[in-house]
Amino acid sequence: MHHRKPTIEDVAREAGVSRATASRAMNNMPGSSARTRALVAQVAQTLGYRPDPAARALASGRQMAIDLVVINYEPDLVWIGGHPYFGRVIAGMTTALAGTDVQLRIHVASLDKAGELIDAVARTTAGAVLVNVTSDLAVRFWRQCPHVVSLNTPAPMVPLVASDNTGGAYTALAHLHRIGARRIAAIHGPSINACATSRRHGHRDLIEDAGMPDLSANGAFTREGGYRAAARLLEQHPDIDGMFVASDLMAAGAVQAITAIGRKIPDDVAVIGFDDSIAATCANPPLSTIALPVEEMAATATRALLDGDLAPTWLSNFPVRLITRQSTDAAALC
Amino acid sequence: MHHRKPTIEDVAREAGVSRATASRAMNNMPGSSARTRALVAQVAQTLGYRPDPAARALASGRQMAIDLVVINYEPDLVWIGGHPYFGRVIAGMTTALAGTDVQLRIHVASLDKAGELIDAVARTTAGAVLVNVTSDLAVRFWRQCPHVVSLNTPAPMVPLVASDNTGGAYTALAHLHRIGARRIAAIHGPSINACATSRRHGHRDLIEDAGMPDLSANGAFTREGGYRAAARLLEQHPDIDGMFVASDLMAAGAVQAITAIGRKIPDDVAVIGFDDSIAATCANPPLSTIALPVEEMAATATRALLDGDLAPTWLSNFPVRLITRQSTDAAALC
DNA sequence: CGTAGAAGAGAGAGCGCTTCCGCTCCTATA
DNA sequence: TATAGGAGCGGAAGCGCTCTCTCTTCTACG
């Protein structure tokens, strides 16, 4: 037994055939008899042979990989696990990649190591999707590797797949207004986040159009952030009858804060979230929200990468959709 | 301008140096002057040169990748996005991989394509973590590539990283019993799922020990499943004063069903979930639950793969932890 | 002025695999 | 029986890169 891991050469020698034949046999290619095929398979098995993916990729010229790069602003990596968004992105990319032999690789880094990661991935990737990557880092990536798409975060020159966050926020607030809410509070996300900023704009647009006061608070995109912000707002403005929350996770917290002080949802306070993530359906009552086609967006980005048709300023504004549940409509089904 | 993508050869020629020099310069290796380094970088830039990862991996012998294989039993791939578990697994693996130059690749397939995927990945991987992969498929994988760890699903011979699901369920039910619940209903997960089965055992153990009746229902691991099962149970057994639900996602649905008919949580019915996923904190009131160290388990599995110390029957039983929130303790902080 | 030593650059041998090309041999057909 | 066609296999040329070894040149010191 050698120490070195067996190569196809070893298999061929042991089976008494040529490398070419061994390769054909193991890959079930035409031009190899069932007999040899079995023999080679047998030898490979006993030798514990595993083809080297790198060598195979190099020789055959196929086998690409697309990279998903996620920057994590929170101190704890666990955040990734707690956030429903990434799973949806992965699901979308996986769908687009199904059937191709392109692999999906995941890279996550905290903000302080983001630069390193960006450079490392950009050097070697055949194409990448950027999630949560700030504008400047996205540009840095693009300069090293133009084969990249940013998800939801615009950056100069970098191809972008985005959804209509501004319009979504406007729609959400319009819905609250339509069902009669006039004292509508808003909880925004961190301004470092491009989506949060767009949603803020949608909010501003509607309250201007409807002539309503600006009752805003800010928080991190977490349940706790939503809870605290909502509690504070309710204290400052006891007459609030509607609440727009820029993320379902925060909205779930807001719902808890509202019921904790004995207000009824939606009768006393109607609440609407954003994202249509799992947090929206798990909240109690379930949250009306704005659905983003995250999977579809991720799939589109991936397909663009595969096809290579990335116009320099290519941009795609995915439409969002209002979902009505019990947090704004008591009669909605559960 | 050639059609073919530029190789290091092209860069070297264009820069008037040898391949070796170009390689050294671009990889910032010692033995190359700042002058050449700049020149080569410049040429590479204008040529749009991107090193071929496969060739590089082959030549250098480094660059591994670890694969995460997920089988999706639900009809819709979106499920992956909706389920908090996978994000946590990825977070754990990422943590373990940080600092190494080992890549993380993700593979997802539906049940009907699972066999193909298993074979394809097993043929080429340097090591894999199996999530949600049934026992027989895990064995099939292991036979082709013993460098594998199954997460939470035991399979003969396949190295396993599991948590104490049975003990967790017992603990959860004991907690309900301790706070005074005597008519405790249970909602179990699908029996195809190994975790669900273990939790079922924990439930059976406790109701036997405590001499309580078996008020059980089954459902898929979804919010809807939990909602329906809880509604049914409450109708059949109006005197229920506690509910053990085998997953937080289902428990979030159960909470909605309970409050929908006007019962108070935890005063009328105390509820406890399982997983400590995001669904637990988003529920209203927030759910007491059993926390699984999913990230830690995934990290352990990954490290084992990296180190290569996989004893054939290696097994690790991670302890679970009771988390108390308002669904069993009205006084708990939010 | 002579020589040791270091530093920079080039030649070339692989890494492990796929695949094109051509050879042999076996079978079916005239 | 002669021969075309095809199936099965081996030889060998790479795929694009890294890295060791060798050679050249340049600096520094006696």
DSSP string of B156-172, one letter each residue: TTS-EEEE-HHHHHHHH
Do A298 and A150 have their domain in common? yes
CA-to-CA distance for A177 and A212, rounded, in angstroms?
10
Do A57 and A88 have their domain in common? no
Identify the domain containing residue A14 by its residue range.
8-61
Do A77 and A143 have their domain in common? yes
Do A48 and A94 have their domain in common? no
Asked whether residue B101's C-beta has any atom of DNA/RNA strand D within 7 A, the reply is no
SS3 B288: strand
pLDDT single digits (tens) A109-145: 888 889 988 988 887 888 899 998 999 999 999 988 8
Chain A residues within an 8 Å CB radius of B50: 123-124, 126, 145
What pLDDT does A233 receive?
97
For tokens 């707002």, what's the residue? A233
Mutate to test the interface with A, among B23, B119, B282, B310 (most CBs of A within 10 A): B282
- For a pLDDT cut of 70, what percent of chain A falls above it? 95
Mutate to test the interface with A, among B284, B287, B296, B334 (most CBs of A within 10 A): B284
- Judged against a pLDDT cut of 50, whether residue B2 lies above it is answered with no
pLDDT single digits (tens) B85-121: 888 899 899 999 987 878 899 998 888 889 988 988 8
CATH code: domain of residue B302:
3.40.50.2300
Domain stop point among A21, A37, A61: A61
CA-to-CA distance for B221 and B187, rounded, in angstroms?
10
The reply to whether A330 falls in a domain is no
Asked whether residue B53's C-beta has any atom of DNA/RNA strand D within 7 A, the reply is no
Nucleotides of D under 7 A from a protein CB: 7-20
pLDDT single digits (tens) A230-255: 999 999 999 999 999 999 999 999 99
Do B173 and B154 have their domain in common? no
The answer to whether A84 contacts B84, with C-beta atoms less than 8 Å apart, is: yes
The reply to whether A22 falls in a domain is yes
DSSP letter (8 states) at residue B113: G
Asked whether residue B20's C-beta has any atom of DNA/RNA strand C within 7 A, the reply is yes
Asked whether residue B191's C-beta has any atom of DNA/RNA strand C within 7 A, the reply is no
Which chain A residue has its CA at the smallest distance from B281's CA? Answer: A223
What pLDDT does B1 receive?
41
Do B125 and B54 have their domain in common? no
Which chain A residue has its CA at the smallest distance from B253's CA? Answer: A282
Which chain B residue has its CA at the smallest distance from A41's CA? Answer: B144
Nucleotides of C under 7 A from a protein CB: 7-20
pLDDT single digits (tens) B198-244: 999 999 999 999 999 999 999 888 899 999 999 999 999 999 999 99
What's the full length of chain A, in residues? 334
Domain stop point among B61, B89, B105: B61
Mean pLDDT across A152-159: 90
CATH code: domain of residue A29:
1.10.260.40
- Judged against a pLDDT cut of 70, whether residue B128 lies above it is answered with yes
Encoding tokens for residue A37?
């095929």
The reply to whether B110 falls in a domain is yes
Nearest to A90 among B56, B80, B260 (CB): B80
Amino acid at B116: E
CA-to-CA distance for A160 and A153, rounded, in angstroms?
7
The reply to whether A181 falls in a domain is yes
Nearest to B334 among A145, A256, A334 (CB): A256
Do A57 and A69 have their domain in common? no
The answer to whether A78 contacts B88, with C-beta atoms less than 8 Å apart, is: yes
Do B170 and B285 have their domain in common? yes
Encoding tokens for residue A93?
């990319």
CA-to-CA distance for B196 and B165, rounded, in angstroms?
8
The answer to whether A90 contacts B86, with C-beta atoms less than 8 Å apart, is: yes
Number of folded domains that form chain B: 3
pLDDT single digits (tens) A257-286: 999 999 999 999 999 999 998 899 999 999
In contact, A144 and A115? CB cutoff 8 Å:
no
Cis ω for the linkage preceding A84 (within 30 of 0): no
Do A146 and A53 have their domain in common? no
Do B250 and B177 have their domain in common? yes
Per-residue buried b or exposed e for A182-197, using 16+ beta carbons within 10 Å of the residue's own CB? eebbbbbbeeebbbbb
The reply to whether B145 falls in a domain is yes
The reply to whether B1 falls in a domain is no
Do B169 and B71 have their domain in common? no
Chain B residues within an 8 Å CB radius of A53: 54, 65, 124-126
Mean pLDDT across A16-36: 90
What pLDDT does A63 receive?
74
Do B265 and B280 have their domain in common? yes
Mean pLDDT of all residues belonging to chain A? 90
The reply to whether A329 falls in a domain is no
